[in-house]
Every structure is written in C-alpha cells, then in structure tokens.
Structure 1
C-alpha cells in the first residue's frame, strides 16, 4: 500500500496546472497544424466559445453536485466529465442554430487530453474530501489517502489511459493518419467515455440504475455521441 500525502487545496493546484498544460498543448497543436485553427476560426464566432464556456460550467456543476444527491451529505461540486458533456451539448445547439453541420472539435483534442492527464493528479492529492477516490482493494499499488484503507488509484487509472491515447493520437497525426485529422475528437470522446465507464465501478458513488451511477449513464451517452458523429462524417465523405 502506498501512502499518499493529501490536502484539499491540492485540487485547485491541479486545476491550475491542468489549465496551464492545456494552454501549452493548444499552442503547440495550433502552431504545428495552423490549418486546423484556421478552419475553426472560419466556421465559428465569439458566440461559439461563449456557448462552450457556459455549457461546460453548467455541466460541470450539475453533474458534480448531482452525483451527491443520493449520498448522506449533498455537496456542491464540479466534474470534468460534466464539463465535457455540457460543452458538447451547448456547442451542438449553437452549431444547429447557425446551420453548421461539420465537426469543430479537432483543435480541442490535445488540450483536453493534457488537461485530464494533469488534472487527475490534483484529484488524487486532494484526498478523501475531493470525493473522487476509489473503492478499497488489496492490490499492491493501492493508495492510502490518510485513513489507513488501501484504495484503487482511479485518478491515476484515468490519467494513464488518457496519456496513452494522447501519445497514440499525436503519433498518428504526425504520420498523417486519416482518423487523427478527421475523427480525433470523436475518437477521444469514445476512448475517454469507455475508460471512465470502467473505472466508475471502482468508485463509491451512489447508484441510480442497478450497479450504474450517474456517470455510467453519462459515459454511455458520450460513447453513442462519438460513434454517431464518426459514422455521420464517414457517410458525408462517401464512406
């Protein structure tokens, strides 16, 4: 069992580092592939980014806080999964209103991945008050967050999974793989939701349907979204 030093304020440090890392990743991506930033700028307006920000904030707090409604103590919180879903819904509504039918998420893939990879360390070091810890386990890599109980380091599971996807994506993009330039956002959503769905079984969150918690249901929705958008894009490209 690995003893992990924790402090509630570590979550905010993790958030700050995640935002900084995401900003650097966005800068690198847009310099490496400037045409992608150009396409995004040509297809959007300030309203796009305003909708994205509002949707992300609402989704983050609704999902984070809603997850505690069935707990003994209801606690206002925020969730990266909720922010991602809220941002997607808001952007899709904005695009529908503007008559834009193509994907605009490619430029956000690397920043989002880097943000998740870094941000989850903040969740881990925030400890038990963060309410993102894993269920008890006797595995040799179990972490002790201060209560003497070995737990699944679910934050590190997620961080590792998304780091692997990030490496695969960047290598594929540098090689010119078609999916990495046309379906990277959809691939990221599918991979993120699938791995998050798995780790949710090792979190002590209240269930809503059978063994599934609110994030299981959200991840199922994101997987369907990613697959449908991917197939839609292929259909428009002639298969």
Structure 2
C-alpha cells in the first residue's frame, strides 16, 4: 500500500482522512449513545443535551484556534487564510470542549460531573481519526521527524520518518484497556475517569511532540506542548489531591 493512500473508486479519488474523520464522529457518537443507555445518567436529558452542545461548540473553536497557533507566524494571504480556517487539532478540540462544557454547566446550574460517559467514545473516535492521519502521510501534519531508527517509514516524501500516528494508535489501545481496568477496579469519584484520561492523553502528546518537526516554539516548547502544560495546571488540584491520598 502506498502512502498517502487515496484510492480511486468509480473514477473519483477518495480522501481517506476525511472519510475516516467523519466515521470517527459517527461511531464515537453511537458508542456514547450505547453507553448512555446501559447506565443511569445523573444528569437530566435537557442538561445533557446542553452539555453536548457546549462541548461541540467549544471543540469547534478550540480545535481551530490551537491549529492556528501551531504556526502563528504564517503570512496572512488569501490562500493561507483558507488553509488556516481548515486547520484543526484534536488537542484544541478536547480542551476547548472541556471549557465549553464547564461554561454551559455554570450557565444551567449543573453540578454533576459529566465527562466519564465521553471517555471511551473519545478514545475510539481519536483512534479511527488517527488511522486517517497515518494513511494521509505527509499530507497531514501528524508525521514525525526524519529518523534512522528501525521504526522509520516512508510517508510519501521518500524519507524515513517516525510514524507518530502509529505510535499513537498503540498508545490509544493501551489507554482504552487501561481506563477499562481503572473503571472496574478503582473507586473513583464521578468525573475522575475523564480527568485521568485527559492527563494521560495530554501527557502522551507532550512527549510525542518531540518527535515531530514543529516550526514554532516558545520556551523550547511547541504550541501543543504548551497546551498540555496548561491542561495539567488546570487539573493541578486533582493531581495534588490524588497524590496526597496515595501517600
């Protein structure tokens, strides 16, 4: 199979990344609906709908904003502006969605934690989306630096690069089953599973960014890594409390 993988069907060249991106949203949402039916939701249907809308709006804004911040020095031409509008990142989507949910919950007065139901659908959705990123090769800015290691792959430009999307797929499988184990064997409070997911995923992304050819740095960190630090600071109280309980 050649990468980028863009098969032609009935004379039309398919965008595998776009197809898998839509599939990720569809399967992730259906998985969420399935999980919601299996357990009692402490949040009313109306409030849950408001929370989902808040998450969607926050994710939309956050994914685009952080996507732009990955290369803020780009020249503002018409062509570049169109590219920036279409640029998005799951990291901004996750953190923007988190902020959108918290804002909506304050508006509607909802006190219950709402994130645990989203954990596994999000992981599955990211997994499917990352397959699309891998198949897109260098057409998507998710590839790694040039490497001489045994893991190097030609992603479409004739150079051996770190297949960071594949690394993430392996991590997501481990994360999925790890979260399942934690859910079954730990007495976490409502909302703690989502916090653990965010801390774990953002921690992984902080590390994997060192293998990517980023072009914009602040204090030696990429925009994504700075967002990871912000996320960890956001959950500092949770980290501190759990470390205290463990000691």
Please give the TM-score of this superposition, normalised by the length of structure 2: 0.82
Residues 84 and 145 of structure 1, relative CA distance in 2, 3 Å threshold: same
Residues 166 and 217 of structure 1, relative CA distance in 2, 3 Å threshold: same
**2:28 corresponding residue in structure 1:** 22
SS of the equivalent of 1:122 reads helix
Alpha-carbon separation, structure 2, partners of 1:182 and 1:50: 19
**1:128 corresponding residue in structure 2:** 138
Alpha-carbon separation, structure 2, partners of 1:158 and 1:218: 18
How big is each residue's C-alpha offset from its partner over 1:27-59, in whole Å with a ceiling of 9 and x where there is no partner?
442244x12xx2133682543222221111011
**1:183 corresponding residue in structure 2:** 192
SS of the equivalent of 2:42 reads helix
Cα drift, residue 99 of structure 1: 3.6
- Would you say the 8 A contact 2:145–2:162 is kept in 1? yes
Most deviating of 203-212 and 63-72: 63-72
Alpha-carbon separation, structure 1, partners of 2:243 and 2:105: 19
Residues 179 and 162 of structure 1, relative CA distance in 2, 3 Å threshold: farther
Q: Pick the aligned partner of 1:192 from 201, 206, 220.
A: 201
**2:53 corresponding residue in structure 1:** 50
**1:107 corresponding residue in structure 2:** 117
Alpha-carbon separation, structure 2, partners of 1:106 and 1:191: 14
Q: RMSD of the TM alignment (CA)? A: 2.9
Number of residue equivalences = 232
SS of the equivalent of 2:188 reads helix
- Would you say the 8 A contact 1:43–1:100 is kept in 2? no
Q: Pick the aligned partner of 1:172 from 179, 182, 204.
A: 182
How big is each residue's C-alpha offset from its partner over 1:129-182, in whole Å with a ceiling of 9 and x where there is no partner?
212211111111212112110111111222221221110112332x34213855
Q: Pick the aligned partner of 2:154 from 131, 144, 148.
A: 144
- Would you say the 8 A contact 1:186–1:227 is kept in 2? no
Please give the TM-score of this superposition, normalised by the length of structure 1: 0.84
How big is each residue's C-alpha offset from its partner over 1:47-103, in whole Å with a ceiling of 9 and x where there is no partner?
322222111101111111331333579432011111111111111122233343442
After superposing on structure 2, the runs of 4+ consecutive aligned residues of structure 1 that deviate more than 4 Å are 71-74, 229-235
- Would you say the 8 A contact 1:190–1:227 is kept in 2? no
- Would you say the 8 A contact 1:193–1:219 is kept in 2? yes
Residues 161 and 136 of structure 1, relative CA distance in 2, 3 Å threshold: same
Alpha-carbon separation, structure 2, partners of 1:41 and 1:232: 29
